[in-house]
Amino acid sequence: MLVLSRKKNESIVINDDITIVVVEIRGDKVRLGVEAPKEVPVHRNEVYEAIRRNQQQGADGEAHEADANAAE
């Protein structure tokens, strides 16, 4: 893991087209701004994990449905 130190209004750039900016530092919280192309999904980790769980459940349901159809 790359660890960087940044101050308010400083940024980092990822792959020429994603910029992360430190917008605000208040106590133990840091607000970040993310500038990325519209086609690049950007989520908080807990939202990303929920999306992955839902996709996995959907894929599992499709697999079970396919198995049931094959058994008929």
On whether the CB atoms of residues 33 and 20 are closer than 8 A, the answer is yes
- From the number of C-beta atoms within 10 Å of its C-beta (0-12, 13-18, 19+), residue 36 rates as middle
pLDDT of residue 65: 61
Angle at 12 between CA 17 and CA 25, to 5 degrees: 130
Q: Is the pLDDT of residue 58 over 60?
A: yes
- How many Å from the N-terminal Cα to the C-terminal Cα in the chain? 50
Which residue type occupies 27?
G
More reliable by pLDDT, 58 or 44? 44
Please, are residues 22 and 35 in contact by the beta-carbon 8 Å criterion?
no
| Confidence bin at 60 (pLDDT 50/70/90) | confident
